Structure 1
Amino acid sequence: MHLSFTSPRQVKIGDAAAFAGTTPRAIRHYHQIGLLREPERGGDGRRRYGYDDMIRLLWIRKMAEAGIRLDDMRAAFDETRDIEENLVGLEETLAAQEAEIRRQRVAVQRLRAVGSPLGLLSDLVTDRLGHLPPGALRPSDVDALLVTERIFGPLGAAVQASSFIVLATHPGLRAEEDRLNAAEAALDDSVEPDDPRVEELARQRYAHHKALERVVEATGLDRAEEELFEIHGDLDEEHETQMSAFEAFTKMPYDFSPARMRCIERAGQLLGQDLANS
């Protein structure tokens, strides 16, 4: 039996998409961004795609499978540009994508190894806290490290980790931390900033901070901090070029009363005076 067929000179968008391994929606997007010329419509008002259109679609599909961005595809099809320039640009784009994928894989592997949201923080932080037993850190501790990392960078959060190591391993200091947090939370809008309780609580917070510092020094955690600065000091400089600590802090909302803010400010002043006198 003899079989014969006639290949169509033009096809509709659905057939074009099916053959190229894409979707009509994607093809319409290619038209919108100028990656694929929009063909003339037939008598029924529908687009018709010819051989050259299909070749273009197939090349777009191949580039998409290779991970090439649509903007870079447009450059590759631009015959007025030097092909070597296009290839260099495409290679740089793919290299950047490859580096980003490696970074994401490292983050996922760290998250799996740590087994908690802590693994999403920088390796400087997770390395310092990875030896703690499960449950030693509270979710609020990890939240605080997340904010610190955003404001002061990975190095700042890694230094702050010393305090959480002490709190996780010294129940007495953890209990005092909880008491101070509860007392500060009680400084609501009904308390005036010049209330004597504010000054007293600020001094207690200062004393607690000094107690944490003494344990940090006694356990050698301060030496670990110095080593971090020696090895990773450039990370701090890199972070400062992205956003200043002051700018970042002003963008983070804290629903604290004026009295609580005054307590925090006063405790900071006491610590500043202590540093100035040392």
Structure 2
Amino acid sequence: MHSSFMPPRQVKIGDAAAFVGSTPRAIRHYHEIGLLPEPERGGDDRRRYGYEDMIRLLWIRRMADAGIALDEIRDAFTSDTASATADSGEDIAGILERLEETLAEREAELRRQRTAVQRMRTEGSRMGLLSDFVTERLKSLPEGSLRQDDLDTLLVTERIFGPLGAAVQATRFIALATHPALRADSDRIDAAEEALDDGVAVDDPRVAQVAAERHAFENALHAVIEESGLDKDDEALFDAWDTLHPATDDDDGGRREAGSMSAFEAIGKMPYDFSPARLRCMELAEELSARDWGNARR
């Protein structure tokens, strides 16, 4: 006996949502973001969904359940519209192929992120935030010999000048970590500079005095770096970097992060709470260094 049941040619949004395992709210959202075209409305001004609409809803639900973002699903359907044929299976196959490529890229990014997190846990939270090129430079130091401020400074330097700049600057902290007397002198001068706060005039005699002490310390630090052979290690750093990142006519050898701002721009955006007196002290110390350099060339 033949059944007298006749399937509906179109269904309302509630029935469509129930069939595909979604909700009317979700389907309305599909319309809003352009994922599902608005269907025609019946005499009661309610949306009516036909067979093709239901097929698309089913695919959307399956793809969404697989973890594919709605924007990616929409883009895949949209890009396929121009080449759509009567054979919807071919269209879907192309969509899924492109989505598979997207998922592969996402998996690679997730692997990269997981590796980075594992590295941070292994190296220590702050050390792990630095690039491999910088941490490799520091691995010879005893655990705990670097201070938090040292690592913070290297993090800022790497952002401005890239891994190579930070690795070269690491030489300074290696010398300080391995020469306690030098570290003590550094702490003393750092404290003297910090004491040049907003209450100190730029022409206060202490400004020039601290500048001279900073200049003398930097000379002593440079001498220790040369005596210990750390300057030779710096030369090797440049060679190693150039081997890993050969420069082209269009870049700087990868010394900064891809797409990053210039060093000049970055320095201008990094805030330092330095008083006018402290800034003047830094200028005077630089002038003393420039004078030494000029005398050495004569």
- 1:80 maps to 2:98: no
Q: State the partner residue of 2:88.
A: none
Aligned residues: percent identity?
A: 58
What CA distance in whole angstroms lies between the structure 2 residues aligned with 1:7 and 1:209?
88
What CA distance in whole angstroms lies between the structure 1 residues aligned with 2:23 and 2:148?
44
Greater helix content: 1
**Could you tell me which of 278, 283, 298 is aligned with 1:265?**
283
1:23–1:269 Cα change, 3 Å = farther
- 1:195 maps to 2:204: yes
What CA distance in whole angstroms lies between the structure 2 residues aligned with 1:17 and 1:30?
15
What CA distance in whole angstroms lies between the structure 2 residues aligned with 1:106 and 1:73?
31
Larger Rg: 2
What CA distance in whole angstroms lies between the structure 2 residues aligned with 1:180 and 1:28?
66
Q: State the partner residue of 1:143.
A: 152
1:194–1:79 Cα change, 3 Å = same
Give secondary structure in 2 for the equivalent of 1:242.
Answer: coil
Q: State the partner residue of 2:31.
A: 31
Q: CA RMSD in A?
A: 3.6
Q: How does 1:248-263 map to 2 (within 5 A)?
A: 248-263=266-281
What CA distance in whole angstroms lies between the structure 1 residues aligned with 2:68 and 2:232?
46
Q: State the partner residue of 2:11.
A: 10
- 1:152 maps to 2:161: yes
What CA distance in whole angstroms lies between the structure 2 residues aligned with 1:205 and 1:181?
9
Deviates more, 1:209-218 or 1:150-159: 209-218
What CA distance in whole angstroms lies between the structure 1 residues aligned with 2:188 and 2:227?
24
Unaligned segments of structure 1, at least 5 residues: none
Deviates more, 1:129-138 or 1:165-174: 129-138
What CA distance in whole angstroms lies between the structure 2 residues aligned with 1:25 and 1:226?
63
TM-score with structure 1 setting the length? 0.80
1:44–1:242 Cα change, 3 Å = same
Unaligned segments of structure 2, at least 5 residues: 85-90
Task: Tell me if structure 2 keeps the 8 A contact 1:136–1:168.
Answer: yes
How many residues were matched structurally?
273
1:256–1:55 Cα change, 3 Å = same
What CA distance in whole angstroms lies between the structure 2 residues aligned with 1:7 and 1:170?
87
What CA distance in whole angstroms lies between the structure 2 residues aligned with 1:6 and 1:106?
58
Task: Tell me if structure 1 keeps the 8 A contact 2:34–2:74.
Answer: no
Q: State the partner residue of 1:206.
A: 215
Amino acid of the residue matched to residue 82 of structure 2?
A: T
Q: How does 1:95-244 map to 2 (within 5 A)?
A: 96-233=105-242, 234=245, 237-238=253-254, 239=256, 242-244=260-262
CA shift digits 1:73-98 (9 cap, x unpaired): 42444320497997897676556434
CA shift digits 1:209-228 (9 cap, x unpaired): 22222222222222222122
Give secondary structure in 2 for the equivalent of 1:38.
Answer: coil
What CA distance in whole angstroms lies between the structure 2 residues aligned with 1:17 and 1:184?
71
Deviates more, 1:27-36 or 1:268-277: 268-277
Q: State the partner residue of 1:56.
A: 56
